[in-house]
Amino acid sequence: MSEKRPFITLEQARQIVKDYPTPFHLYDEAGIRSTARTLRSAFSWNVGFKEYFAVKATPNPFILSILREEGCGVDCSSETELMLSRACGFAGQEIMFSSNETEAHEFALANSMGAVINLDDYTLIETLEEGCGGIPQTVSCRYNPGGDFSIGNEIMDQPKDSKYGMTRAQLTQAYRVLMEKGARRFGLHAFLASNTLTNAYYPTLARILFETAVELHRETGAHIAFINLSGGIGVAYRPEEPANDIAVIGEGVRRAYEEVLVPAGMGDVAIYTELGRFLLASNGALLTTARHEKHTYKEYIGVDACACNLMRPAMYRAYHHITVLGKEDAPCDHVYDVVGSLCENNDKFAIDCRLPRIDRGDLLYIHDTGAHGYSMGYNYNGKLRSAELLLRRDGSVQMIRRAETPADYFATLDFAGLDLPGRRA
Ligand SMILES: *Cc1c(COP(=O)(O)O)cnc(C)c1O
């Protein structure tokens, strides 16, 4: 069983909360850079390799800038994410646009920025043409092979039930039509399983995509310039889970590349990834303070964060490990539900969780919230989004997004048209 250790100590946390009250998300710059480097090194055998960080996982300019310095591009799914990426200095083919149910004006923005457009559906060819006033030179298509996606005997996910991507026949047709309309460079993309904890996921997916690319090239003559393995590499949220080894994963993809693409004369294809979780999840944490104890039919610890700060437990019953700072080595001889204050009974960070005794005022470190954490936040019950902080490599802490105030909550409301008592002239 591996041990999950916070990237800060109780003393550091106490210093931080003097300036920034809990709850907040804290990110570890050194960890982010080191994870990005291990990823790059795992795929260094591929000349054109590029990671396009999935912006939706952690849409913060400081995080995106760090990743840009580490050689990453960005994967955007909406106009606002495109604008954010542009504001962070990303341009042209450093940007991937992977959206679905896309409208012409969204394609238009992506195209005006020179982004690579990844087409989710065959019927979007017309929309793409409309938005871009023609078909861009480079187009990527998203594949959905249908059926169950399995590795060995284990079913990882069910692409047949997924709304994304084109069928195999549609892919061929899409490449043909796009070529007729002027596309010259093609990409192939698929995302078949999320948060995988096996080193076999990427190599298995890569082999499917490599074989499909060889077929597509033979059928249509299209020049396939890159293959995008998308996201899906997981992190060990539970201490007992084995972590992925990105070096082993990169080597597995290399073997499939040598066996399938190179003999087909396609040894110049670039490999792209769009990881979000793998790069950021473990390099972020949600810090929250224990506020109350409640003893009814169960033992509850109420904290000052809630599902609005971290939705994954409420939404997927996802496990997030909790460390009580300063009690890292204390015996876990209490059983608690750790809960937020929402009027929703799924607002629980932990259920029947063995933890050390928690006292009011204790600082709880909720692990692995760096991806799909802050970004999935919401304002239910009038809760305000927290700050995001960055632990710099020199040990200093920088606020990289301020906490919302009630003024932010009211900013989209307009009281002027209401005949309210006390407001009448
Ligand atoms: C969400 C998403 C990703 C990132 O997924 P992770 O699970 O964070 O690796 C990558 N590509 C696309 C198209 C996505 O929708």
Instruction: Give the pLDDT of residue 132.
Output: 96
Kindly give the distance from the C-alpha atom of residue 286 to the centroid of ligand 1, in angstroms, as a whole number: 21
Are residues 309 and 204 part of one domain? Answer: no
Has residue 195 been placed in a domain? yes
Instruction: Give the pLDDT of residue 44.
Output: 98
Pocket test for ligand 1, best of 142, 235, 274, 278 (most atoms within 8 A of CB): 274
Which CATH number belongs to the domain containing residue 314 in this structure?
2.40.37.10
Q: Domain tally for the chain?
A: 2
Q: Write down which residue in 260, 276, 292 finishes a domain.
A: 276
167-213 pLDDT, tens digit each: 999 999 999 999 999 999 999 999 999 999 999 999 999 999 999 99
pLDDT at 425 over 60: no
Q: Which of 323, 286, 324, 164 is nearest to 228 (CA)?
A: 164
Ligand 1 neighbours, Cβ below 6 Å, are 54, 56-57, 75, 98, 191, 194-195, 230-232, 274-278, 371
Are residues 258 and 311 part of one domain? Answer: no
| Cα distance between residue 88 and residue 67, in whole Å | 11
The residue whose CA is least distant from atom 9 of ligand 1 is 231
Q: Write down which residue in 276, 298, 325 finishes a domain.
A: 276
Are residues 243 and 380 part of one domain? Answer: no
Are residues 374 and 238 part of one domain? Answer: no
Helix axes 246-256, 29-42, angle to 10 degrees: 20
Bridge-based pairing of strands 270-273 and 50-54 is: parallel
Has residue 422 been placed in a domain? no
> Which atom of ligand 1 is the closest one to the Cα of 276?
8
Count of Cβ atoms closer than 10 Å to residue 425 Cβ? 2
| Cα distance between residue 315 and residue 328, in whole Å | 28
245-257 pLDDT, tens digit each: 999 999 999 999 9
Count of Cβ atoms closer than 10 Å to residue 359 Cβ? 11
Kindly give the distance from the C-alpha atom of residue 275 to the centroid of ligand 1, in angstroms, as a whole number: 6
Which CATH number belongs to the domain containing residue 176 in this structure?
3.20.20.10
Are residues 324 and 183 part of one domain? Answer: no
Instruction: Give the pLDDT of residue 423.
Output: 66
113-145 pLDDT, tens digit each: 999 999 999 999 999 999 999 999 999 999 999
Cis peptide before 239 (omega within 30 of 0): no
Are residues 380 and 341 part of one domain? Answer: yes
Kindly give the distance from the C-alpha atom of residue 133 to the centroid of ligand 1, in angstroms, as a whole number: 29
User: What percent of the chain has a predicted confidence (pLDDT) above 90?
Assistant: 95
Q: Tell me the C-alpha to C-alpha distance, in Å, between residue 129 and each of 122, 124, 126, 139, 363.
A: 12, 8, 5, 11, 54
pLDDT at 406 over 70: yes
Kindly give the distance from the C-alpha atom of residue 195 to the centroid of ligand 1, in angstroms, as a whole number: 9
Are residues 352 and 331 part of one domain? Answer: yes
> Which atom of ligand 1 is the closest one to the Cα of 372?
8
Has residue 424 been placed in a domain? no
Least confident of 4-13, 147-156, 172-181, 389-398: 147-156
Are residues 355 and 405 part of one domain? Answer: yes
| Cα distance between residue 95 and residue 107, in whole Å | 13
> Which atom of ligand 1 is the closest one to the Cα of 57?
8
Has residue 11 been placed in a domain? no
Q: Which residues contact 143 (CB under 8 A, 6 or more apart)?
A: 165, 166, 168, 171, 188, 189, 190, 209, 212
Are residues 295 and 352 part of one domain? Answer: yes
Are residues 368 and 235 part of one domain? Answer: no
């936040």: which residue's tokens?
A: 377
Bridge-based pairing of strands 299-303 and 284-295 is: antiparallel
Instruction: Give the pLDDT of residue 2.
Output: 58
Are residues 332 and 236 part of one domain? Answer: no
Are residues 329 and 200 part of one domain? Answer: no
Has residue 7 been placed in a domain? no
Kindly give the distance from the C-alpha atom of residue 306 to the centroid of ligand 1, in angstroms, as a whole number: 24
Has residue 18 been placed in a domain? no
Q: Write down which residue in 276, 295, 310 finishes a domain.
A: 276
Instruction: Give the pLDDT of residue 424.
Output: 57
Kindly give the distance from the C-alpha atom of residue 193 to the centroid of ligand 1, in angstroms, as a whole number: 10
Q: Which domain range does residue 331 map to?
A: 282-410
Instruction: Give the pLDDT of residue 3.
Output: 80
Kindly give the distance from the C-alpha atom of residue 137 to the centroid of ligand 1, in angstroms, as a whole number: 25
> Which atom of ligand 1 is the closest one to the Cα of 277?
8
Has residue 169 been placed in a domain? yes
Has residue 268 been placed in a domain? yes
| Cα distance between residue 171 and residue 247, in whole Å | 31
